[in-house]
């Protein structure tokens, strides 16, 4: 990998392969409006993280991720892995072209490819908060992962696992809503132990707990309407002990921003969350499913320099 200031990290398999098909257009537009850059393609899980680390080590000043939230999460993790000294000099751009691109519903980055390239060319940078999560991976080993959008546990982890194993040929919304409906029917509520900031630990029976930096996840669920990526706070959404009938009756409110009106839903802000369970409870971290509880989640304010429209 040569030394170059701008590096594109491209996941050709994102969006069920649509990113690979779109790359010639993206490359042409980027060459016209951005000038010289180098591009590297991922071949499997973890590649985007390693490419990001190597690019920064060789002097890259901009990393441009092309893919979905999962690819962006890997790039963020590659950047964050280098420590506090390296991060401030690096700018992160995003061309959304994957199954789930929920972060652009919160952060002003256009979904249109050409407009997204124009935003990168304009070069406006804002500081964005990052979540850090310590958890148990599938091998039972303690692991650490960062997230830019939403981490959740409960039904969210089950849905992420189902989506990642299924086809996205009918588009991201259908993939997520189908996985959600199937999982609701098959999944049972879990008892989790929560400690939120300095509040006493509590045991709660829940469908899902979302730790939100951005407002949307799961292909368009408006889980945290008040969340902002630069307010130095998590918005914690606890979907509690609803009956199956109550879940289905209130499902539209997960998409129309009225989730706070659902009884047995608790919404609060926090900077640190500890969670555990005696049951198997899976995690969803920016659409990826890397492990399960127990977990400790904390906030790193302004940890990323992200290129946005404003």
Judge whether 208 and 159 are in contact, CB under 8 Å: no
Q: Which tokens is 195 given?
A: 């400690």
* Residue 85: band (very low, low, confident or very high) from pLDDT cuts 50, 70, 90: very low
Predicted confidence (pLDDT) per residue in 30-55, tens digit: 999 999 999 999 999 999 999 999 99
* Residue 81: band (very low, low, confident or very high) from pLDDT cuts 50, 70, 90: confident
Same domain, 96 and 142: no
Please say if the pLDDT value at position 1 is more than 90: no
**CA dihedral in degrees (208, 212, 218, 222; nearest 10)?**
100
Judge whether 171 and 111 are in contact, CB under 8 Å: no
- DSSP letters for 136-194: EETTS-EEEEEESSEEEEEHHHHHHHHHHTS--TT-HHHHHHHHHHHHHHH---EEEEE
Domains contained in the chain, number: 2
In a domain, 1, yes or no: no
Same domain, 116 and 90: yes
Q: Can you give the pTM of this predicted structure?
A: 0.91
* Residue 193: band (very low, low, confident or very high) from pLDDT cuts 50, 70, 90: very high
* Residue 269: band (very low, low, confident or very high) from pLDDT cuts 50, 70, 90: very high
Instruction: Check residue 86 and give its pLDDT.
Output: 46
Q: Is 95 exposed, middle or buried (0-12, 13-18, 19+ CB in 10 A)?
A: buried
- DSSP letters for 77-124: HHHHTT-TTTGGG-EEEEEE-SS--GGGGTS---SSHHHHHHHHHHT-
Query: First-to-last CA distance in the chain?
Result: 32
Domain end residue (candidates: 96, 123, 150): 123
Three-state DSSP state, 177: helix
Same domain, 181 and 291: yes
Query: Residue 48 phi/psi, 5° resolution?
Result: -60, -40
Same domain, 181 and 112: no
Instruction: Check residue 170 and give its pLDDT.
Output: 54
CATH number of 180's domain:
2.60.200.40
Same domain, 139 and 28: no
Spell out the residues 6+ positions from residue 32 whose beta carbon is closer than 8 angstroms to its own: none
Same domain, 206 and 229: yes
Measured between alpha carbons, how far is residue 185 from residues 158, 168, 178, 239, 289 in Å? 12, 21, 11, 16, 20
Same domain, 74 and 116: yes
Same domain, 33 and 182: no
Same domain, 36 and 142: no
Instruction: Check residue 231 and give its pLDDT.
Output: 97
CATH number of 85's domain:
3.40.50.10330
Query: Residue 106 phi/psi, 5° resolution?
Result: -105, -45
> Cβ of 164: how many Cβ atoms within 10 Å?
17
Query: Residue 96 phi/psi, 5° resolution?
Result: -70, 120
Same domain, 108 and 214: no
Three-state DSSP state, 281: coil
In a domain, 307, yes or no: no
Please say if the pLDDT value at position 239 is more than 60: yes
In a domain, 265, yes or no: yes
Residues in the chain: 310
Predicted confidence (pLDDT) per residue in 151-185, tens digit: 999 887 777 777 766 655 555 666 677 777 777 77
Residue numbers of the domain that contains 115? 6-123
Q: At what angle do helices 47-57 and 69-80 cross, to 10 degrees?
A: 40
Percent of the chain with pLDDT over 90: 75
Same domain, 161 and 13: no
Domain end residue (candidates: 123, 151, 168): 123
Spell out the residues 6+ positions from residue 111 whose beta carbon is closer than 8 angstroms to its own: 96, 101, 104
In a domain, 140, yes or no: yes
Min mean pLDDT across 5-19, 165-179, 236-250 is at 165-179
Same domain, 159 and 248: yes
What is the C-alpha R_g of the chain?
Answer: 19
Domain end residue (candidates: 74, 93, 123): 123
In a domain, 306, yes or no: no
In a domain, 308, yes or no: no
Q: Using the structure block, give the residue that is written with the tokens 């546990």.
A: 153
In a domain, 135, yes or no: yes
Three-state DSSP state, 156: helix
Spell out the residues 6+ positions from residue 224 whose beta carbon is closer than 8 angstroms to its own: 150, 210, 212, 214, 215, 235, 237, 267
In a domain, 309, yes or no: no
């Amino acid at each position: 990998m040569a030394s170059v200031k701008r590096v594109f990290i491209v996941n050709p398999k994102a969006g069920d392969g649509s990113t690979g098909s779109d790359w010639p257009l993206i490359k042409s537009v980027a060459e016209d409006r951005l000038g010289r850059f180098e591009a590297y393609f991922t071949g499997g899980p973890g590649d985007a993280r390693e490419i990001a680390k190597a690019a920064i080590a060789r002097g890259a000043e901009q990393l441009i991720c092309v893919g979905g939230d999962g690819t962006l999460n890997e790039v963020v993790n590659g950047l964050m892995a280098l420590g506090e000294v390296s991060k401030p000099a690096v700018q992160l751009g995003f061309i959304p072209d994957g199954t789930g691109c929920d972060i652009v519903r919160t952060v002003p980055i256009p979904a249109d490819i050409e407009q997204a390239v124009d935003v990168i060319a304009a070069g406006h940078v804002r500081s964005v908060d990052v979540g850090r999560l310590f958890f148990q991976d599938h091998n039972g080993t303690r692991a650490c992962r960062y997230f830019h959008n939403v981490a959740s546990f409960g039904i969210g982890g089950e849905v992420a696992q189902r989506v990642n194993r299924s086809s996205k040929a009918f588009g991201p919304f259908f993939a997520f809503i189908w996985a959600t409906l199937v999982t609701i029917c098959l999944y049972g509520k879990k008892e989790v132990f929560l400690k939120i900031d300095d509040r006493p630990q509590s045991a709660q029976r829940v469908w899902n707990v979302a730790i939100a930096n951005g407002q949307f996840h799961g292909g368009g669920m408006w889980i945290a309407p008040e969340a902002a990526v630069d307010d130095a706070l998590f918005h914690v959404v606890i979907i509690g002990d609803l009956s199956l009938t109550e879940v289905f009756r209130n499902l539209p409110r997960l998409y129309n921003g009225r989730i706070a009106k659902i009884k047995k839903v608790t919404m609060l802000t926090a900077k640190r969350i500890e969670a555990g369970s005696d049951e198997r409870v899976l995690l969803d971290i920016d659409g990826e499913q890397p492990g399960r509880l127990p977990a400790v989640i904390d906030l790193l304010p302004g940890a990323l320099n992200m290129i946005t429209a404003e």
